Structure 1
Amino acid sequence: MKLAVIGYPIHHSLSPLMHQVELDALGIQGNYTRIEIHPNDFTEKVTKLLDSDITGFNVTLPFKEKIIPYLDDVDSSARVIGAVNTVVKEQGKWIGYNTDGEGYVRGLLHDFSSLELPQSKVLIIGAGGAARGIIYSLLQSGVQKNHLDIMNRSLKNAQKLCEEFSLPTENSYSLKDQCTLQYDIVIQTSSVGLKKEETPLRAFRIQQDAIVSDIIYNPSKTAFLKIAEEQGAMIQNGLNMFVFQGALAFEKWTSHKPNISRMRDTVLGALNLD
């Protein structure tokens, strides 16, 4: 079995370590490697990859959308999300999936098992590919459309995302907006979480015991999460999303359920996080 992750740059990816440990632990003969593809060489390199004896691969930035025309088909969720992060060879055809959103939701419920998503008021910060995947999976998990808001630097992009997922357009906000809304769950999917001076937390109130998560896992506690914790929120970084999306991909390639705890410990060990 030959597996890989493609992207640019790709040297920082911990996917090979996480998946290789699991392959070895389950006695599955195979290897998982990094394949760096320069954007200018994408057509040539990805065509060669699809013609090779590779079993499947992950797709990371900046190719999650670009890969789609090269595949034989994509599943319904990836089609709606408009991005693919997992590619599987099924009966001689290359099929694209997106496990990011489902990975996020599974990781959220893993940490907060008593959480009732259908009753939760949720704010998504960001309007990119990660936000799209998470929005799709939250709606699939029962979050009500009128309880899901989107905040983004560009109000236009937030409004566009609302329209695509049939959310009320008034559920969109700019980072510059000053609103008095309160949320049960706040999910940060953009780069602003890394910079204290750009934190959007000033734009709304965090209620006590609200869940605030950032899909970034390195550093383990972004400026966004530090401020949220100071305001009394329960916080979560992106480690669980990374592990659970990887576990879903692993299962699609191998038909084996991986050990989530082992995968998580492997990543934690590599990052030296606690």
Structure 2
Amino acid sequence: MLSYQHGYHAGNFADVHKHSILTLVLNYLRRKPKPFTVFDVYAGRGLYGLHTTQAQKTGEAEQGILKLADAPWPALLGDYRQALRAVNAQDSLRYYPGSPMISHSLTREATDLVLCELHPQEFLALQQTFAGKGRRVHLHRRDALEALRALLPPSSRRGLVLIDPSYERAGDYTAVGDAVAGALQKWPAGVYMLWYPVLADGRHQGLLRRLEQSERPWLRSELQVRRPGIGMHGSGLFLFNPPYVLPEQLARLADWYEPLGQDGVATLQNFVSGHF
């Protein structure tokens, strides 16, 4: 199934949650001068207009990044703000960078970006977004989970894998769990970021129980913006081998997410493994 297009959802509260944490992880990886690789296996088109017909149809950015645009930004999220400014003129927010563009903006020339997208229209747009961006950007039109099996581990030995499925198919939670388990066996030293929706019916819980059984250090972060009901009421991130500074950083950022709450104050909860 290739129906999902992120243009309808770009800049929503889940993007804010996911991408703010992505910038913290990239900042940590940049601290060492040694090269690293970023794998983004559900890359999308890389850059989204917030005034397009798709974005205007849902208005999700208005409940997400646009709520925070004029708010005070903590120093910890300076990289996130930098990535937004890199694709916008002055202080306006007409465009929202997807995770591939954020990673490109915040990494050095020695960092390879491996971007995978299967949807034909999204892949064409991704090619256009990264045209002329240099040889360090490697584009693949291929299935995300197959790419994990085929492309890991990288020669750099350090890096990040971002896995951001739409979970449209009934078997996606099982397939993603299998793929992550296999990837960890092939490249146990990598940092893994897996996004999942927080849903009232709890269909994501089986995946979380499976991931939490791992002996690898992990961190789970959930941002809830409304009471459970129909559809997605929160955004979740599960990280293997997270930066050791991340729990303390997220604790300091909890108040920043509050404007995203739609029926009260937004809550950010973070959990860590006993192996952390």
Normalised by the length of structure 1, the TM-score is 0.41
Normalised by the length of structure 2, the TM-score is 0.41
Higher Cα Rg, which structure: 1
